[in-house]
Amino acid sequence: MKEEEIVIRKALTKDIPQIIQLVRELAIYEKSEDKMLVGLTTYQDAFDAGHFEAFIVEVDSQIAGIALYYSRFSTWRGPILYLEDFIVRQQYRRKGLGKLLFECFISEARERKYEMCAWQVLDWNEPAISFYNKYDAVYEDCWVDVKMYLSN
């Protein structure tokens, strides 16, 4: 049996269509596909403008997952690397790819000399919570997510 070739790399412009597909798969998993309104042009423009970056994990040249992130600023802690979406396709789970991707994300924050990285997890997503617990993640119980939509 042939050993699978696993590669982790930074996302390139050519990856944007597959990144969108992975985000859509996540939206379906979260039962929120109808809330995903952003299309290829918006993703492309945002990526080209440096609004987000991503690590890609490939298995035998096929994109198996992504860690999509960007910098934020905390007035208390300084720069933070924020993990917006962290996705490994179903058929590639439980092979250590998520660990590889997540540790690349953490390493990126350390290389930038950031004090913290942050992300959100749905309270019902037990597999994700179990994964994050391996990293001594701190769960906030006093903050409430707030947002306001500026268009319909």
Tally of CB atoms within 10 A around 37: 9
In contact, 10 and 54? CB cutoff 8 Å: yes
Q: Which of 114, 132, 139, 149 is catalytic?
A: 132
Nearest one of 132, 98, 150, 42 to 16, comparing CA atoms: 42
Q: What is the pLDDT of residues 16-41, one digit of tens each?
A: 999 999 999 999 999 999 999 999 99
- Helix (H), strand (E), coil (C) string for 65-112: EEEEEEEEEECCCEEEEEEEEEEECHHHCCCCHHHHHHHHHHHHHHHC
pLDDT in the model for residue 149:
87
Cα–chain center distance at 63: 14
- Which domains does the chain show, CATH number per domain? 6-133 (3.40.630.30)
Structure confidence at residue 152 (pLDDT): 64
pLDDT by residue (tens digit) across 110-121?
Answer: 999 999 999 999
Residue 132 is a catalytic residue: yes
pLDDT, residue 61, reads 94
pLDDT-wise least confident of 11-15, 44-48, 82-86, 134-138 = 134-138
Q: What is the mean pLDDT of residues 127-152?
A: 90
Report, as an integer, the average pLDDT of 36-58.
Answer: 97
Give the H/E segment covering residue 132: helix 126-133
pLDDT of residue 144: 85
How much of the chain exceeds pLDDT 70, in percent?
Answer: 98
- The structure's pTM equals 0.92
Interval 97-113 mean pLDDT = 97
d(CA 69, CA 82): 5
Q: How many CB atoms lie within 10 A of CB 114?
A: 20
Q: Does residue 1 carry a pLDDT above 80?
A: no
Characterise 25 by phi-psi region: left (phi > 0), alpha (psi -120 to 50), beta (else). Answer: alpha
